[in-house]
A = this chain, B = another copy of it.
Amino acid sequence: MSKNRQIYFVQRPNGMPDENTFDLRTSEIPEPGAGEVLVRTVYLSVDPYMRGRMSDRKSYVAPFALNEVLSGGVVGQVEVSKDDRFQAGDLVTGLLGWQDYSVAKADELNKVDPNLAPPSAYLGALGMPGLTAYFGLLDIGQPKAGETVVVSGAAGAVGTIVGQIAKIKGARVVGIAGSAEKNRYLKEELGFDAVINYKTEDVQKALEKACPNGVDVYFDNVGGPISDAVATLLNKFARIPLCGQISMYNLKEPEQGPRIQTSLLINSALMKGFIVSDYQSRSAEGTKQLGEWVSQGKIVYQENIVEGLENTPEAFLGLFSGENLGKQLVKVSDIQ
């Protein structure tokens, strides 16, 4: 133990975040009080939703405060515990800072069981992205055997789980992603029925070909023109879980587009936004089911791990370039 490196949020981005958004500072390692725990960060999760928190406007969750340490999902290891429920060496997960060491209230931490899945999975398939896929797809999308499920952002941490759950439910799964490598992975490793490369293909034509029976469920991670194309192929009573609009997050002005209302109207279709915390009361159910599917090999996942706390901003920005495959993590220290 030496110092605590911390990544501060120092300027709200206008458009895409850049080096002026973040500042790496160093301070003393904090000491936990009664009922608190000192956690050493092992893995940090960077996720697209964090972009919304960087703007000073209403979003999923409260905006990040300026001149404070950024925060997100962390898997860490307990260094010092001032609470009976935890002891040094325990692996835990919680919403903690972008820093080497965090002091957290014991109430805000959950233990990680490394026998069920590797600890990093608690930030991915068994964590926020997995639960997002699970509840959005099953509660809102409700895919039935034989139906066609389209997922955009298909190679991302949420999209890969969505497609695999849809396959488990017997649906035909069409994934939209941004590279040949991603699409090979989706088709060959995850069993997607069809894949579309939105960077090289005419999405509208490719969708028409990939969805000869129309679209029953569209799990929307991206918004924008890709979603406009899917909207033209909705079937009667289609369902659209609205999970993210990554194509919009860095725009300076709200984008205009063809109104989707007409398509929803003529198809009696449903579109519903959600955030994983809407399902907080059911998270144990989701984690349990996802853990079973992972241990049965029905859900597999891939991680893209960047080494070093100082590279967290870069890893975060990489989410918006369409390059990453699977869950983006930052490795900050080793499990001891």
Which positions in A face B, CB cutoff 8 Å? 52, 58-60, 220, 223-224, 227, 242-245, 248, 254-262, 264-275, 278
Contact = CB atoms under 8 A, between A and B. Distances in A.
A245 B261 contact: yes
Contacts of A274: 268
B272 A223 contact: no
A323 to B, nearest CB: 24
A270 B270 contact: yes
A273 B240 CA distance: 12
A136 to B, nearest CB: 11
Contacts of A266: 52, 58-60, 273
* A-B residue pairs, 9 tightest by C-beta: A265-B273, A264-B273, A270-B272, A256-B256, A254-B258, A271-B271, A257-B259, A268-B274, A268-B273
Contacts of A244: 265
A248 B262 contact: yes
B268 A275 contact: yes
Contact of A270 (B60, B254, B271, B275): B271
Contacts of A267: 273
Contacts of A269: 272-273
29 contacts: A52-B266, A60-B266, A220-B261, A223-B259, A223-B261, A224-B259, A227-B261, A242-B261, A242-B265, A245-B261, A248-B259, A248-B261, A248-B262, A255-B258, A256-B257, A256-B259, A259-B260, A260-B261, A264-B271, A268-B272, A268-B273, A268-B275, A268-B278, A269-B272, A270-B270, A270-B271, A270-B272, A270-B273, A271-B272
Contacts of A258: 254-256
Counted per complex, copies of this chain come to: 2
Nearest to A239: B272
Contacts of A254: 258-259, 262
A236 to B, nearest CB: 9
A269 B264 CA distance: 15
A220 B260 CA distance: 13
B260 A260 contact: yes
Nearest to A275: B268
A256 B52 CA distance: 24
A286 B203 CA distance: 43
Contacts of A52: 266
A124 to B, nearest CB: 22
Contacts of A60: 265-266
A276 B223 CA distance: 29
Given A60-B266, A268-B278, A271-B271, 8 more contacts: A242-B261, A244-B265, A245-B262, A245-B265, A255-B258, A257-B259, A264-B273, A269-B273
